[in-house]
Amino acid sequence: MMKFKKIFALASIVVFGAAMFAGCGSSDQKKAASNLENGSGNKTYIIACDAKYAPFSMEENGQYKGIDVELLSAIAKKEGFQYTLKPMDFSGIIPGLVSGQIDGAMAGMNITEERKKSVDFSTGYATAGDSIVVNANNTSIHQVEDIDGKTVAVKKGTTGAKFAEENKDKYHLNITYFDDSPSMMLAVANGNADFLVEDYPVISYQIRIGAQKGLKVAVDSIHTPPEYGFAVKKDTNAKLMQMFNDGLKKVKEDGTYDKIVGQYLTK
């Protein structure tokens, strides 16, 4: 009888202990789920920028800086989310979002209806119209009609490339594609292409700081410019998108936005 009582007591302790541990585990799981739901968990987002797209993103002394990079940092601080910046060639960014290799992108990406088929965009955070840019010694291109029969350099996947493709037959264009802006600009500076199509703030900044002395803007804007937007895979990462939009509103209201943009662009 005594032996039976001891066995019963031991079994009770085991059951009670298991219940305690089960209860703790359940509590911890609920807490973790709550943290993730409220954006306070340990999730680190992978967010892409264009590897070579001054003044929006550029490498200097091993560190990335520029409008996109610094705005993203300010917004993340406001909203309390963590991220790893992943510089990429622009042409690989939307495929990276669609495949899930990256969670978001802030890469001077124009908000277009075509891109909306694959990604969701934030509220627009900047406006940049496409320009026609030529060699500094070029005297033959002054308006859009002057590009007829010329060779154009464009960066893959951009609105500049889309302009060239849509007007290839109309203006009898020969299109040469590049993976990044510096290569495209070098082609025009060296005379391997007659002109390029690039966002006005980007090229005007490059020329202003002396980085593209061999180029000049021939036509400021070839169309009504769409806005730049932060992007995530369509119907995915709604929480990240909401935090971005909320943070963007805050940095505009407190003057941080104007301070960052003002370092690179003259109003």
Query: What is the CATH number for 256?
Result: 3.40.190.10
Distance CA 243, CA 81 (A): 8
For 84, list phi and psi in degrees, rounded to 5. Answer: -115, 125
Q: Is residue 58 located within the same domain as residue 182?
A: no
Judge whether 5 lies within some domain: no
Q: What is the mean pLDDT of residues 248-263?
A: 95
Q: Is residue 74 located within the same domain as residue 139?
A: no
pLDDT at 3 over 60: no
Judge whether 32 lies within some domain: no
At residue 2 the predicted structure's pLDDT band, cuts being 50, 70 and 90, is very low
Distance CA 209, CA 204 (A): 9
**Two structure tokens written together for 56:** 């929006």
pLDDT value of position 11: 41
Q: Average pLDDT over the chain, rounded to whole? A: 85
| pTM: predicted TM-score of the whole model, two decimal places | 0.66
DSSP one-letter code for 110 = B
Q: Is residue 135 located within the same domain as residue 211?
A: yes
181-231 pLDDT tens trace: 889 999 999 999 999 999 888 888 888 888 898 999 999 888 767 799 999
Q: Is residue 120 located within the same domain as residue 197?
A: no
Q: Is residue 122 located within the same domain as residue 240?
A: yes
97-156 pLDDT tens trace: 999 999 999 999 989 999 999 999 999 999 878 999 999 999 999 999 999 999 999 999
Nearest Cα to Cα of residue 108 among 161, 53, 41? 53
Domain extent at residue 252: 44-127+227-262
Q: Is residue 110 located within the same domain as residue 137?
A: no
DSSP one-letter code for 226 = P
Judge whether 202 lies within some domain: yes
Distances (CA, A) of 156 to 62, 90, 92, 93: 25, 7, 9, 11
Q: Is residue 245 located within the same domain as residue 121?
A: yes
Q: Is residue 171 located within the same domain as residue 121?
A: no
At residue 27 the predicted structure's pLDDT band, cuts being 50, 70 and 90, is very low
Judge whether 152 lies within some domain: yes
Q: What is the mean pLDDT of residues 241-265?
A: 95
Distance CA 193, CA 187 (A): 6
Number of separate domains in the chain: 2
At residue 178 the predicted structure's pLDDT band, cuts being 50, 70 and 90, is very high
Judge whether 36 lies within some domain: no
SS3 (DSSP) at 53:
strand
Q: Is residue 143 located within the same domain as residue 181?
A: yes
Nearest Cα to Cα of residue 172 among 155, 190, 151? 151
Q: Is residue 151 located within the same domain as residue 119?
A: no
**Two structure tokens written together for 90:** 């622009």
